[in-house]
Amino acid sequence: MDTVTIEGTEYEVVAQRPKSLTDKPFTYCPGCNHGTTHKIIAEVVDELGIQHRCIGIASVGCSVFSYEFFDFDFISVPHGRALAVATGAKRMRPNSVLMTYQGDGDLAAIGTAETIHACNRGERVTCIFVNNAIYGMTGGQMAPTTLLGMKTTTSPLGRDAKRIGWPMKMSEMLAPLPGAAYIARVSMHDAKHILKAKAAIKKAFRAQLEDKGFSMVEVLSNCNVNWHVTPQEGVKFVEEQMTKNFPLGVYKDIWEEEKTASQTDKEEG
Amino acid sequence: MSDERVFMKGNHAACEGAYRAGCKAYFGYPITPQNEVTEYMSAHIWEHGGTFIQSESEVAAINMIMGASATGARAMTSSSSPGISLKQEGLSYIAMMELPMVVMNVVRCGPGLGNIAPHQGDYFQATKGGGHGDYRLITLAPNSVQEMAQFVYDAFVLADKWRNPAMVLTDGTIGQMMEPVDYTTMPWMDPPDKSDWQLDEFQEGRERHVLTSIWLDPVDMAVAHEKLIDKYERLKKEDVRYDEYLTDDAELLVVAIGSPSRVTHSAIRLLRQEGLKVGLFRPITVWPFPYDAIREYANSKHIKAILVPEMNWGQMIEDVKLAVLDKKPVHFVPKHGGLTFTPEDLTEPIRAILNNPEDPNTLWHVS
């Protein structure tokens, strides 16, 4: 039991900043879900006791400075290449725990090849994919996951499927690959879903720790600033529109598959 | 493989040099004329406790190398010209993060797809940075199968000494030809201790390690630049390497690298029989370039002219001219399209230049 003494009185610590976060205050915009996503990742890392063997890969986008907030080894890498860098690091240090933290532009546009092939090789790495349907850092351009009709600085009349295609569904694309161990899509729009997101992230790390294969959690998030809405409206948009286009759920669960396979064996045996 | 004299291909010898240097990671993508490297690595790196991945692209390969190098391992990739272009993004980040690694370019003819014949069109790219931003690679230019092994080996040592990416710049001829190699100059070694900066699973009780190439404030970026540039300046003083052949009395100095330097050897032997005093100066590090050594020749009384043969439109000659500073005429013999020099391509202009070293026409077209 952790205790803290304030003005001579000893108190029990019931909640505190996760040890896997540094003391640096988040620099993300008010209302953005990056901060909460960082926090639940750090809590998972603390709970699994892997802080001192975690290696983080910071990508390019709003989370380019994520290495300032997580308190473990980190490398900041070129746009879209996080899973290739993670591959090289994990192959050399199989006892370390690799986490990439990537946005939709990074993972689903410029890094599509690296993403698909890392998953297909079954790399023992964990990818946190934050999908907020827009390029936040560069000022609100269209992302591969921008919803149809959504106005951005490069789709000023709204995303038109005939011209630029449809929102990319990365979880659905990756889940059928045999290298995938755990693929889930979660949302950050309310406390209940944030708790579910944390459980999914924990499972994703477990997939790596148990040597099962590639794991990814797609985190639906908001960008109220570049969506030009209030934080409340942003959260509501995630709940009502984003989840409609990007259905929440577990797309691949290797433990469930193993269970089913062993049951089938028993029935057949 | 035992440590004795072995007859083998340049691209295979490069791998053996890497194994002896303790290389534990090779990630690469097929491209001719360097496929023998990727194939040999895929078959043998396991015997040395290493790992091989055939990557989905050159872009992925260089980033995998970035990850491996960041954890302290000795790591190498290789390719040929179009693939090396794809690696430039990664090399720029690797240079700024000061990650030691080795990349080999078995140069083919470009631009574009060009062809798979030997060429030297990537000299600028290899010696002036190559990707975006202000950085340099330590670049070694072998001209034999022995040197393919030795220079890959040396590149690992230099890369770790300076915490800088190193390139082995060779060409299709050197990569593909077979010669005997003596590995006794390449004792098996382990990489130096990098525990003060590497990313690893032993973070308990130490400060975390962060590798990055971003400094948003120009004042901070300037500090990072100055650190790099200070390193490059020290490197230029300490690790310039070159080779000389019959230069003591030479009236004409040929400056050449790679397979043209081998042809120059043959040409010099022929010309010396005629009594013509010709010597070869061969830069081994093309970055840092041996400006001072060439300048000494340019200032010497016995040198009348300098000749640069290159399998391109004139790239290294710019560095030679920077060294010579108009002290002596610098003549150029190009070879295009992936064609290779014959000794006669060089003996003919050399005879003419020695007849009239001050000839204002310094461009020698050979068919």
Give tens-digit pLDDT for A68-85: 999 999 999 999 999 999
Instruction: Check CB contact under 8 Å for A93 and B214.
Output: no
B234 assigned to some structural domain: no
CA nearest to A64 within chain B: B214
In the structure encoding, which two tokens stand for residue B2, read together? 């035992």
pLDDT of A198 strictly over 60? yes
How many Cβ atoms from other residues are within 10 Å of residue A162's Cβ? 5
Mean pLDDT of chain A: 96
Query: A129 and A219 in contact (C-beta within 8 Å)?
Result: yes
Q: Given a cut of 70, is residue A119 above it in pLDDT?
A: yes
pLDDT category of residue A266 using cuts at 50, 70 and 90: confident
In this predicted structure, the answer to whether residue B322 has a pLDDT above a threshold of 60 is: yes
Same structural domain for residues B171 and B261? Answer: no
Name the minimum distance, in Å, from the CA of A91 to any CA of chain B: 7
Q: Does B1 have pLDDT greater than 80?
A: no
Can you give chain B as a three-state secondary structure string?
Answer: CCCCEEEEEHHHHHHHHHHHCCEEEEEECCCCCCHHHHHHHHHHHHHHCCEEEECCCHHHHHHHHHHHHHCCCEEEEEECHHHHHHHHHHHHHHHHCCCCEEEEEEEEECCCCCEEEECCCCHHHHHCCCCCCCCCCEEECCCCHHHHHHHHHHHHHHHHHHCCEEEEEEEHHHHHCEEEEEHHHCCCCCCCCCCCCCCCCCCCCCCCCEECCCCCCHHHHHHHHHHHHHHHHHHHHHCCCEEEECCCCCCEEEECCHHHHHHHHHHHHHHHHCCCCEEEEEECEEECCCHHHHHHHHHCCCCCEEEEEECCCCCHHHHHHHHHCCCCCEEEEECCCCCCCCHHHHHHHHHHHHHCCCCCCCECCCC
B143 and B35 within one domain: yes
pLDDT tens digits, one per residue of A255-265: 999 999 888 88
Say which CATH number the domain at B176 has: 3.40.50.970
The number of angstroms, rounded, from the C-alpha of A83 to the middle of its chain's C-alpha atoms is 13
Per-residue pLDDT reduced to its tens digit, B108-120: 999 999 999 999 9
pLDDT of residue B266: 97
pLDDT at B3 over 70: no
For B327, other C-beta atoms within 10 Å of its C-beta total: 14
Evaluate whether residue B221 is within a structural domain: no
Task: Look at residue A21 in the predicted model and tell me its pLDDT.
Answer: 98
Residue B191 banded pLDDT, cuts 50, 70, 90: very high
pLDDT of residue B71: 98
Per-residue pLDDT band at B366 (split at 50, 70, 90): low
Task: Determine, for residues A77 and B24 on separate chains, whether the beta-carbon distance falls below 8 Å.
Answer: no
Q: Does one domain contain both B153 and B32?
A: yes
Q: Identify whether residues B53 and B165 lie together within a single domain.
A: yes
pLDDT tens profile B263-275? 999 999 999 999 9
The interface predicted TM-score (ipTM) is 0.96
Q: Which of B144, B160, B185 is the last residue of a domain?
A: B185
Using an 8 Å CB-CB cutoff, list chain B residues near A125. none
- Please check whether residue B19 lies inside any domain of the structure: yes
Give the torsion sign (CA, A3, A9, A15, A19).
negative
A133, A147, B49 from A150: Cα distances, Å: 9, 5, 52
**Shared-domain flag, residues B107 and B12:** yes
Whether this prediction's pTM lies above 0.80 is answered by yes
- Name residue A99's beta-bridge partners: A56, A126
Closest residue in chain A to residue B212, using alpha carbons only: A76
Phi-psi region for residue B16, left (φ > 0), alpha (ψ -120 to 50) or beta? alpha
**Smallest Cβ distance to B209: which of A64, A73, A78?**
A73
Q: What angle is formed at CA B227 by the lines to CA B225 and CA B229, rounded to 5 degrees? A: 70
Flag whether B295 is in a domain. Answer: yes
Look at residue A267 in the predicted model and tell me its pLDDT.
78
pLDDT for position A15: 87
CA distance B151 to chain A (A): 24
- Mean predicted confidence (pLDDT) in B287-309: 98
Mean pLDDT of chain B: 96
> Residue A183: beta bridge partners?
A216, A252
Instruction: Looking at the structure, tell me whether residues B158 and B278 fall in a common domain.
Output: no
Answer yes or no: is B235 within a domain.
Answer: no
Specify the pLDDT at position B367: 52
Q: Answer whether residue A28 shows pLDDT above 60.
A: yes
Nearest to A76 among B69, B200, B212 (CB): B212
Same domain membership, residue B121 and residue B254: no
| Nearest chain B residue to A100, by CA | B67
CATH of the domain at B250: 3.40.50.920
Nearest-by-Cβ selection for B66 from A65, A77, A93: A77
Taking the alpha carbons at both ends of chain B, their separation in whole angstroms is 43
Which residue carries 């005939």 as its tokens? A162
CA dihedral B326, B327, B331, B332 (to 10 degrees): -50
Residue B232 lies in a domain: no
Encode pLDDT of B50-100 as tens digits.
Answer: 999 999 999 999 999 999 999 999 999 999 999 999 999 999 999 999 999
pLDDT band at A269 (very low <50, low <70, confident <90, very high): low
Q: Residue B168 falls within a domain, yes or no?
A: yes
Query: Band of the pLDDT at A46, cuts 50, 70, 90?
Result: very high
Q: What is the pLDDT of residue A262?
A: 87
Phi, psi of A119, deg, nearest 5? -65, -45
Res B54: pLDDT: 98
Size of interface A-B (CB pairs under 8 A): 134
Task: Provide the pLDDT for residue B2.
Answer: 54
Q: Are residues B172 and B254 in the same domain?
A: no
Percent of chain A surpassing pLDDT 70: 99
With a pLDDT cut of 70, the percent of chain B lying above it is 99
Is residue B41 domain-shared with residue B110, that is, in the same domain? yes
Give pLDDT, residue A265.
81
Query: Do both B264 and B176 map to the same domain?
Result: no
Domain hosting B350: range is: 243-355
Q: Are the beta carbons of B144 and B262 closer than 8 angstroms?
A: yes
pLDDT at B190: 96
Domains of chain A: 27-268 (3.40.50.970)
Which residue in B57, B199, B210 is closest to A89 by CB distance? B199
Average confidence (pLDDT) over A222-231:
97
Separation CA B200–CA B193 (nearest Å): 13
Nearest to A95 among B57, B90, B201 (CB): B201
Q: Does position B5 have pLDDT exceeding 60, yes or no?
A: yes
Chain-chain contact of B24 with A75 (C-beta, under 8 angstroms): no
What's the number of domains chain B is made of? 2
B39 and B132 share a domain?
Answer: yes
Contact A73 B208 (CB under 8 A): yes
| H or E element, residue A184 | strand A180-187
B210, B215, B216: which to substitute to probe chain A, counting the most A Cβ within 10 Å?
Answer: B210
Does residue B355 surpass a pLDDT of 90? yes
Cβ-based interface (< 8 Å): residues of B facing A: 24-25, 27, 51, 53, 55-57, 59-61, 63-73, 75, 89-90, 93, 97, 199-204, 208-214
Which phi-psi region, left, alpha or beta, contains residue B139 (left: φ > 0; alpha: ψ -120 to 50)?
A: beta
Residue B241 has pLDDT above 60, yes or no: yes
Q: For the beta carbon of residue A39, count every other beta carbon within 10 angstroms.
A: 18
One domain for residues B132 and B59:
yes
- From the list B53, B66, B210, the residue facing A85 with the nearest CB is B66
